[in-house]
Homo-oligomer: A and B are copies of this chain.
Amino acid sequence: MKKAIVDGLGAMGSSIAENLKSNRFFVTGIDPDPDTIETALIENVINVEGHFDEATVADADVIVLSAHVPYIIEAMELLKKLPVKENAVIVDIGSTKTEIMKHAEGLDNFIGGHPMIGTDQEGIDNRNKDMFIGAPFFLVGKQIVATRASSMLKSLGSIFQLMSAEEHDRLISGISDLPHIVAFAMTDSVDQILPNNQLTWQQRVAGGFKDTTRIANSSPDLWTGILMTNQEQVLTAMDTMIDTLKDYRAAIADGDTKVLNNKLTNAQEIREQVGESKND
C-alpha cells in the first residue's frame, strides 16, 4: 500500500487526501486545527493524524504541501533535513511558483504544482474529491519528477502539464491575474460612471456585469499578495489590456463600424473556442 502525507486540510488539501485514501493510499493528515483533524478522521478523509517526523516522512511515497504559501516554504525547509524516500514526490499546490521554486533547490524530489481550480469556498467541509477531474494541473520543475508526480496523483483525473516557472507565470498573468484585476477595476469604474445614482445596486445590474465582475468578490489581501508576487508579468499583461482598450476606443470614436466589427469578431471567435467546462 502506498503512503501519502497531506499537509494542510483546506478545501483542496482535504479533497486530495480523500481522493488518495479512496484510491488505496494510506493517508497521514497534518493540520493545525483540531476540528479539521476530527472531521478528517470521522469522515474518512485521512487514515491518521501525523507530523513531519523521521518515521512518517521516510515511509511516504507522496507528500502534498497544501497549506498557505509561508507554511509550504516552512515545510520545504523542514523536509530538506528529513530522510525523504528515494523515489518519493513532494508537490505543492500554491498558486504562485516564483518564490516557492527558490526554495526547491536542495530538495530533489520536489515539483511545483498548481491545479487550476477556481474554488472560492474554503475549508474541509467544501472538499470534493472529484474537483480535479479534467482540470489542468500545472507542474513546474524536472521532467523526471513531473512524470512521477502525475503517475502518483493519477487518480485525481487532472490534465498534468509540465512547464518552466517563467512560462507558468506568464500563463497565470493572462488567465488568472489579468481577469481578477479587470474585474476589480471594472466594479470600481462602473461605480464611478454611476455616481449618486438613485437605483440600488441590486436593481442596476444585468447578467453581463455580474458575470464579468464576479471574481471581484475575492479576498483583497490574497490578491494583493498574488499580484505583487507576479509583478513583472502582471504589468505586461495590463499594458496589453490597456492598449487593446485604446484600440477599441479609437474604432468607436471614429465611428468605424468595420474596424470595430472585425475586433469583436476576432475576440468572439477566440472565446467560442474556449467553451465551457463542467467546473464552471
Contacts and interface: CB of A to CB of B under 8 A. Distances in A.
A270 interface: yes
Interface in A183-221: 183-194, 197, 199, 201-221
A178 B189 contact: yes
A274 B174 CA distance: 26
A210 B274 contact: yes
A199 to B, nearest CB: 7
A228 interface: yes
Interface residues on A, range: 35 or more
A81 interface: no
A274 B213 contact: yes
A257 interface: yes
A217 B271 contact: yes
A266 interface: yes
A268 interface: yes
Contacts of A245: 181-182, 185, 238, 241-242, 245
A217 B261 CA distance: 13
B175 A209 contact: yes
Contacts of A272: 217
A176 B208 contact: yes
A206 B183 CA distance: 14
B193 A208 contact: no
Contact of A171 (B182, B197, B249, B277): B197
A273 B210 CA distance: 11
B279 A192 contact: no
Interface of A: 116-118, 136, 159, 161, 170-171, 173-176, 178-194, 197, 199, 201-221, 223-224, 227-228, 231, 234-242, 244-246, 248-249, 252-253, 255, 257, 260-261, 263-268, 270-277, 279-280
23 contacts: A118-B206, A171-B194, A174-B189, A176-B209, A179-B186, A179-B212, A181-B245, A182-B245, A183-B267, A184-B263, A184-B271, A186-B241, A187-B274, A189-B241, A202-B275, A213-B274, A217-B271, A224-B257, A231-B255, A235-B252, A238-B252, A242-B242, A242-B245
